[in-house]
Chains A and B, each alone.
Chain A
Amino acid sequence: MSIWINEGTKVVVQGITGSQGTFHAIRMAEYGTDIVGGVTPGKGGQEIELPGRVVPVFNEMSEAITTTGAVASVIYVPARFAAPAITEAADAFHELNGEGLVICITEGIPTLDMVRVISHLEKTPGVRLIGPNCPGIITPGDNGGCKIGIMPGHIHAKGRIGIISKSGTLTYEAVAQTMSVGEGQTTCVGIGGDPVNGTGFIECLEAFEKDSETQAVVMIGEIGGNAEQDAAEWAKDNFSKPIVGFVAGATAPPGKRMGHAGAIISGGKGTAEEKFAAFEDAGIYIARDPSKIGEALVTALVDAGLRDS
C-alpha cells in the first residue's frame, strides 16, 4: 500500500513537448511510472518516444483522460501558463472521473494565480493538487515504482516510512537518512514551499494514518507561516504513528525571503524555533541536524516497538 499513487497509476504529462516535460517524462518512464500520454495545446496528434513506449500528445486534458484512462497528471509548463493548466486538469478529472490527482512541479507561479486556483478547486471536489513548486510524489515499488515529479528515483526503496516535505533536496536528504538506517519509504510527498499551495501537511498525515503499510512519518518543514504548528497540533489527537520532524531555517534572518516564496519570517512569526517547539509539544521526535533524522527515526521506531535497535 501507499498513499494516492501506486505502480498502476496512469499518468499524463502536461507540457510533455517542452524540454523539461520531455526530459522528465523519460526519467519517470525509466523508473517505471505508467506514462500514458501528454498534453500540449496545439501539438495534438504528435507522438513522444519514451523508454519502452511511444505515447500520444493531446490538445486537451479531457481528450487525454478519455483516451488513455489517466487518473493523474503532472505539470511542467512555464509559470505563466501553469495556473490555467492546473484548472484545466482539475475540471477534466472532476467532470470525467469525479476524482484525480494533479501534481504541479512549476516554480514561480504568481501568488494571486494560486489564490484563484485554490478557490477554483472548491468547485472540483475529489481532485487533489500537490504543489506547485515541489519535487512531486513517489511510491517506490518492487520493480521500479511510480515516480511523478523530478526527484532522483534511484535513492528510494520500498519500505514503511512516509515522508512529507516543503523542500526538494531536503526531501532527498530525508530519504537518504531513512535508507542509512535500513528503512524504505511507502510514499514521499513534496508539498512545495509556496505560500499558497495545494495539499498540506495535515492532509498527508491523514492519508498516512489510514495507510496500513506506513508505520512512521518523517516531516520536513521550513520557516514561514504556521502549517507545521497546525499539523503538530492536529497530530496530537489524530495521528497514532511516530513522527520525526525537522525544520529548516533556524539561522534565517527575519524579513528575508530564503529562496522559496513562502520561506520568510514576517513580524517575528513563522520561526524555526516556534515550529520545533510545536513539534516537541506534540510528542514529535526532533532532529536538529538533518543528518540525524535516521537516528531519530530509529529511536522513534524502537520506542513504538517497531524495531529492536
Chain B
Amino acid sequence: MNIHEYQAKAIFRESGVPVQEGLHCTSVQQALSAYDSLGSKVVAVKSQIHAGGRGKGKLLSPKSGNLVMEGGVKVAFSRDEVEEYSSKILGNNLVTKQTGPSGKIVNNLYIESGCEIAHEYYLALLVDRESDSLLIMGSTEGGVDIEEVAETNPKAIHKQRFYPSEGLGIDKASSMAISLGLSGKSHDLFVEMALNLSSLFIERDCSMIEINPLVRSSDDRIIALDAKVSFDESATFRHPWRDELRDISEESEVEVRANEFGLSYVDLDGNIGCLVNGAGLAMATMDVIKMYGGEPANFLDIGGGANSESITAAFEIIIEDPNIEGILVNIFGGIIRCDMVARSIIEASNQTGLKVPLVVRFSGTNHKEGRKVLEESELNVVTVGTLGDAGEAIVSALGGSEE
C-alpha cells in the first residue's frame, strides 16, 4: 500500500524525522493561503500522486492531451508563481516514468517551505530478501535516479543490514553517516534521524521508505525533502490507522474490485483475457499466450478458495475490458474442482452474454467431468489438454499471430 508524500511527511514529523513545514491542499485558493501561512518566500509546489519521477514528469490536459507544463514539482519564488503552478497542476494529468503513458490526474498538492541545500543524499530502507534482514541504503549521489547510480557507480551506494529485534542501532547509523561523509552536528543529527526512521519502519510494518533527496542544509541540518513510504499489506490487520491514509482514487478501480472477491488482478495492454488458478500458473499462461504471438490483457489468479460467485466476478471483470477479443481459462484443479469451474463459466457466460472466443484448458481434479460439462453445454467453447495447446488455440481463434 502506497501513501502520498504529504501523509508520509506527517508520519515523519510525528516520528522525529525532520521535514520542512508544509501544507496539504486541494485547490489553488488553499495553495495560496498555505503560502501565506508558511511565511517562507520560496516554496516547493509538489504534485501528490502515487508514483515517482514527478519532478521530471509532464502535465497534460486530460481533455486535449496538450502539454500544460513541464515538471510536476516546481519551486515558486512568489505568490503569483504559486498561483500559476498550482492551477497548472491541479486537475491535470501527470505523466512520469512510473505512471505509464496514461498518467495520473493530480487532485492533491503539497506546499512546502524551501530550504538552502548544501548537499543532496539518497536514503532508503527496505526488506532485503537475499539476506532475510532489513537494509538501510545511502548514497552521496542524491536527487538523481538511484537505479542509474547502482548501475554506473555501485560503490557510491552504502549498505547496513539490521534485524527488527535489535533495530538499526547507533553504531550502524553512525557508520552510515560516516560513509556519507557527515561529521560534527550533521553526523549526530543524521544518526538521530536514521534511528527514528528505522523504528518507524519496524513499528508501522513498512515495506519500503525512500527519501530522495535527503538534504544537509546550509546550516548543517538533516532534512527529508522527499518521502516515499509503502506499507506491507499483509500487516494491515494490526494497523487500523492505515484506513485513513488510503486514497482509493490512486488505485485501479478494477484491481480493488477484484480484491474484494479474493481475486488477484493486474491490468495489461493486450486483448486476450486470462482466468487462471495460482499466481505462477497465471504468469506462465500469459507467457505462453505471448509465445504463440498473442498479447495477454491481464494477470488474473482466482486463488485457492474460488467459488461460483468469484469466478463470475472474474469473468465480468475480464469482459468489461473493451480490448478483449478472446478469453483463455486455464485451471489445474487441486482443491478447486474443474467441473465446478465449468458450471461457473457457463453461468457467467450466460449472465454476461459472452461474445468472444473462449478456450478452456482443464487439468487435475475432475478435469474430465469439467470438459464434459462444457462440451454438453450450448457454449461456444474450445477445450484443450495442455497449456501450449491452449495458447495456440486462443491465438489462432483471434486470427493468428500479428507478427
Contact = CB atoms under 8 A, between A and B. Distances in A.
A252 interface: yes
Contacts of A299: none
A151 interface: yes
B296 A152 contact: no
A48 interface: no
Interface in A147-180: 150-152, 154-155, 165-173, 176
Interface string B145-177: 001001000000000000111000000000000
A169 B281 contact: yes
Given A109-B234, A250-B287, A258-B299, A115 B132 contact: yes
Interface string B358-392: 00000111000000000000000000001111010
A256 B283 contact: no
B72 interface: no
B339 to A, nearest CB: 14
A117 to B, nearest CB: 9
A257 B207 CA distance: 13
Interface string A167-198: 11111110010000000000000000101100
Interface residues of A, number: 62
B147 A267 contact: yes
Interface in A244-295: 246, 248-253, 255-263, 267-268, 272, 288-292
A169 B127 contact: no
B299 A252 contact: yes
A259 B277 CA distance: 11
B389 to A, nearest CB: 7
Given A115-B163, A119-B163, A172-B364, A288 B132 contact: no
A116 B165 contact: yes
Contacts of B332: 169, 172-173, 176
B355 interface: no
B164 A246 contact: no
A248 B363 CA distance: 18
Contacts of A119: 132-133, 163, 165
B259 to A, nearest CB: 11
A50 interface: no
A195 B278 contact: no
Contacts of A166: 280
B287 A259 contact: no
B287 A272 contact: yes
Q: Is the interface of A mostly helix, strand, loop or mixed?
A: loop
Interface string A16-44: 00000000000000000000000000000
A168 B283 CA distance: 12
Contacts of A55: none
Interface in B272-315: 276-284, 286-291, 296, 299, 301, 304
Interface stretch (A7-15, A63-71, A209-217, A219-227): A219-227
A79 B234 CA distance: 8
B127 A112 contact: yes
B232 interface: yes
Interface in A112-150: 112-116, 118-119, 135, 150
A165 B129 CA distance: 17
Contacts of B264: 259
Interface in B316-355: 332-335
A165 B299 CA distance: 20
A236 interface: no
A258 B283 contact: yes
Interface string B119-156: 00000000101101110000000000001001000000
Contacts of A51: none
B210 to A, nearest CB: 11
B205 interface: yes
A223 B129 CA distance: 13
B268 interface: yes
A55 B5 CA distance: 54
B156 to A, nearest CB: 15
Contacts of B129: 195-196, 224-225, 262
17 contacts: A79-B237, A110-B234, A111-B235, A118-B132, A167-B279, A168-B304, A169-B277, A195-B129, A220-B280, A248-B281, A249-B286, A258-B283, A259-B282, A262-B129, A267-B147, A289-B291, A291-B288
Given A115-B127, A267-B147, 9 more contacts: A111-B207, A112-B235, A115-B134, A152-B335, A170-B278, A170-B281, A173-B284, A248-B287, A259-B282
The 3 tightest CB contacts between A and B, nearest first, are A167-B280, A259-B279, A169-B278
